[in-house]
């Protein structure tokens, strides 16, 4: 039996495009001699459809798409992910299903058993879990068909009571097929490979796994669909961050004598983050029908890295940089920013905020007279820049990219309605120390980002001689504390016991928790870590914990 894995970039609710892509892949797989072609979890609707699933019309369109796809499944069979109605009269209204299409119709429905309801996932909000287990007979083989999480209940501390493969093994399957929607983070590739390998070894069966490729707003899907031998060795894998289709001979996989993993995926973490961000920006614009991006270019490292990513995602002709110097901007910040824009070949404008700032000072003088310069005036400059950028966005149809990093977002080091503006946050899940790594990665082959941008002390340049270190711990220390607290959920006592300064720990954690209201108003953030701000980290705004 020859099995094709079709790794596609779906668009949530775009039934016409999703259906056409799937049907084209069915025909391509058939022409190349496949007996079965496998598509990802909820391929028909795109993932995650969220509350669209509450609309009957949305579900009807899903079913209509399946009927169209089934028309092409006469001489080839297909497995397609799709939501289906729960007709039992009990439980949630839908099942998350894998539909087996053959002879022009749906011949079998398999429902997802383990419904993740943690971090970015909320599937139990919509779907009823499966309680009936059976294999699918096709071409003389018994297929154990599973959906994403159904293979993840492994290890010493399983998250669920049930294990679908324990049930399916009673039917003596010949292979495991797993259709998934497994979002990217920089450790996910390694974790995913280990989990799937364990399933192959534990059950002594080949595993065929297919994932989404592409971005759905903040969620990035890296592809990397894989085939494993019964010994748990990676037989082959599909491309990362791209669409792909490959055909595999079941007998060849079963009897492969590969002694070690043929894992070709990008292993360098910072390279993965770079590729994911480029794909995320590209898909955000394409799927929303946008073409041109805009950002404020300060001469600092965050906006520099964001500009490079935007140019690589959209092309230099579709990215516009705006330099907005003030009285506190250093000369080299302007020259560094201009040099970068010229290196990349993108349009740039220089607009001083001095006149606008003086106008606001005069307007507010009756209220502020005699009061010292403080964060009010600093924020005023940031908000003037935000107004300028949004005016250009409105006038010319550019979408503003937010350039704030995760360290700043964590401790509230940013101005609401100023430098926190934007349609999408590119670096909002990238710590400052990782931004420096990204800059080095970008410059590894040629010096695109000026060296001075990378080496100078970070500064918002909103008051004379200002440096980030005036208000914050050194980023190496800050980011380590933030990572331990946000990603690893370690509390103050654990951090202090690790050797971090007690006052620094208390200050940082207090800043994180008191700035939740700011993060609540930020743009969607491209997710590259295991615990990103946004949908994957849900915290109350009005709270007193560690504040």
> Domain check: are 71 and 203 in the same one?
yes
> Domain check: are 288 and 408 in the same one?
yes
Tens of pLDDT, residue by residue over 7-26, are: 999 999 999 999 999 999 99
> Domain check: are 289 and 246 in the same one?
no
pLDDT category at 156 given cuts 50, 70, 90 is confident
pLDDT category at 547 given cuts 50, 70, 90 is confident
> Domain check: are 327 and 190 in the same one?
no
Residue of 21, 61, 112, 518 marked catalytic: 112
Average of per-residue pLDDT values in the chain? 95
Specify if 494 maps to a domain: no
Last residue of a domain, one of 230, 259, 288: 259
Specify if 52 maps to a domain: yes
Instruction: Tell me whether residue 28 is one of the annotated catalytic residues.
Output: no
Within 13 Å, how many C-alpha atoms sit on residue 503's CB side? Answer: 2
Instruction: Tell me whether residue 506 is one of the annotated catalytic residues.
Output: no
Contact residues for 298 (Cβ-Cβ < 8 A; gap 6+): 323, 324, 329, 333, 337, 461
For 481-485, what is the mean pLDDT? 98
> Domain check: are 185 and 292 in the same one?
no
> Domain check: are 280 and 255 in the same one?
no
pLDDT at 172 over 70: yes
Specify if 13 maps to a domain: yes
What are the angstrom distances between the C-alpha of 93 and each of 56, 89, 118? 10, 8, 20
For 318-342, what is the mean pLDDT? 90
Structure tokens at 504: 């620094």
Q: Domain range for residue 161?
A: 2-259
User: Percentage of the chain with pLDDT > 90?
Assistant: 90
Residue of 30, 41, 218, 437 marked catalytic: 41
> Domain check: are 89 and 203 in the same one?
yes
Report the CATH number that the domain containing residue 241 is assigned in CATH: 3.60.110.10
Structure tokens at 196: 């799937």
> Domain check: are 243 and 275 in the same one?
no
Specify if 460 maps to a domain: yes
For 79-89, what is the mean pLDDT? 96
Specify if 479 maps to a domain: no
What are the angstrom distances between the C-alpha of 139 and each of 77, 143, 174, 250, 330? 10, 10, 11, 11, 71
Last residue of a domain, one of 234, 259, 284: 259
What does DSSP assign to residue 20? Answer: H
Beta bridge partners of 388: none
pLDDT category at 157 given cuts 50, 70, 90 is confident
What does DSSP assign to residue 233? Answer: -
For 375, the enclosing helix (H) or strand (E) is helix 375-396
> Domain check: are 250 and 290 in the same one?
no
For 59-84, what is the mean pLDDT? 98
pLDDT at 216 over 80: yes
Last residue of a domain, one of 419, 438, 468: 468
pLDDT at 470 over 80: no
Report the CATH number that the domain containing residue 394 is assigned in CATH: 3.40.50.620
> Domain check: are 316 and 460 in the same one?
yes
Tens of pLDDT, residue by residue over 338-381, are: 999 999 999 999 999 999 999 999 999 999 999 999 999 999 99
Q: How many domains does the chain have?
A: 2
- Confidence at residue 158, expressed as pLDDT on a 0 to 100 scale: 82
> Domain check: are 388 and 300 in the same one?
yes
- Confidence at residue 263, expressed as pLDDT on a 0 to 100 scale: 53
Instruction: Tell me whether residue 112 is one of the annotated catalytic residues.
Output: yes
Give CA–CA dist 99/114, Å, rounded.
17
- Confidence at residue 154, expressed as pLDDT on a 0 to 100 scale: 85
Residue of 73, 82, 148, 346 marked catalytic: 148
pLDDT at 464 over 90: no
Structure tokens at 29: 């797989």
> Domain check: are 100 and 248 in the same one?
yes
pTM: 0.95
Tens of pLDDT, residue by residue over 269-288, are: 999 999 999 999 999 999 99
| 3 state SS of 324 | coil
For 434-442, what is the mean pLDDT? 97
Specify if 351 maps to a domain: yes
Specify if 503 maps to a domain: no
Specify if 304 maps to a domain: yes
């Amino acid at each position: 039996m020859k099995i094709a894995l079709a790794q596609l970039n779906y668009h949530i609710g775009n039934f016409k495009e999703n259906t056409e892509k799937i049907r084209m892949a069915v025909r391509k797989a058939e022409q190349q001699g496949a007996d079965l072609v496998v598509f990802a979890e909820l391929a028909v609707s795109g993932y995650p459809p969220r509350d669209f699933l509450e609309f009957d019309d949305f579900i009807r369109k899903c079913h209509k798409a399946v009927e169209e796809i089934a028309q092409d499944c006469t001489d080839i069979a297909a497995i397609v992910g799709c939501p289906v109605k729960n007709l039992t009269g009990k439980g949630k209204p839908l099942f998350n299903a894998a539909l087996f299409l053959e002879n022009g119709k749906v011949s079998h429905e398999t429902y997802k058993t383990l419904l993740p309801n943690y971090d970015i996932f909320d599937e139990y909000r919509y779907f009823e879990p499966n309680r009936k287990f059976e294999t699918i007979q096709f071409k003389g083989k018994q297929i154990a068909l599973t959906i994403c999480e159904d293979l993840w209940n492994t290890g010493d501390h399983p998250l669920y009571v049930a294990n679908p493969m324990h049930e399916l093994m009673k039917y003596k399957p010949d292979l495991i097929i797993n259709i998934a929607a497994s979002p990217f983070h920089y450790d996910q590739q390694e974790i995913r490979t280990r989990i799937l390998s364990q399933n192959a070894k534990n059950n002594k069966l080949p595993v065929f796994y297919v994932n989404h490729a592409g971005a759905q707003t903040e969620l990035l899907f890296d592809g990397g669909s894989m085939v494993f031998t019964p010994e748990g060795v990676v037989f082959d894998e599909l491309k990362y961050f791209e669409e792909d289709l490959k055909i595999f001979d079941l007998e060849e996989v079963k009897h492969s004598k590969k002694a070690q993993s043929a894992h070709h995926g990008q292993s360098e973490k910072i390279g993965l983050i770079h590729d994911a961000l480029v794909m995320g920006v590209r898909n955000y614009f394409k799927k929303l029908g946008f073409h041109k991006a805009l950002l404020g270019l300060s001469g600092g490292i965050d906006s520099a890295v964001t500009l490079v990513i935007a140019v690589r995602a959209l092309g230099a002709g579709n990215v516009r940089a705006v330099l907005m110097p003030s009285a506190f901007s250093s000369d080299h910040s302007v020259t560094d920013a201009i040099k970068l824009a010229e290196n990349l070949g993108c349009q740039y404008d220089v607009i001083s905020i001095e006149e606008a700032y003086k106008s606001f000072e005069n307007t507010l003088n009756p209220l502020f007279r005699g009061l010292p310069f403080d964060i009010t005036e600093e924020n005023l400059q940031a908000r003037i820049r935000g107004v300028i950028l949004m005016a250009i966005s409105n006038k010319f149809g550019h979408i503003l990219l937010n350039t704030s990093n995760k360290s700043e977002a964590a401790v509230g080091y940013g101005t609401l309605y100023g430098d926190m503006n934007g349609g999408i946050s590119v670096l909002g899940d990238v710590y400052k120390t990782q931004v420096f790594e990204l800059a080095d990665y970008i410059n590894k082959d040629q010096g695109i980002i000026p060296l001075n941008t990378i080496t100078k002390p970070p500064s918002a340049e909103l008051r004379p001689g200002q440096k980030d270190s005036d208000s914050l711990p050194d980023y190496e220390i800050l980011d380590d504390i933030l990572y331990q607290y946000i990603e690893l959920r370690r509390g103050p006592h654990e951090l202090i016991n690790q050797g971090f300064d007690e006052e620094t720990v208390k200050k940082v954690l207090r800043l994180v928790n008191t700035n939740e209201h700011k993060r609540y108003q930020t743009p969607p953030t491209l997710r590259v870590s295991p615990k990103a701000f946004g949908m994957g980290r849900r915290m109350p705004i009005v709270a007193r914990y560690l504040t």
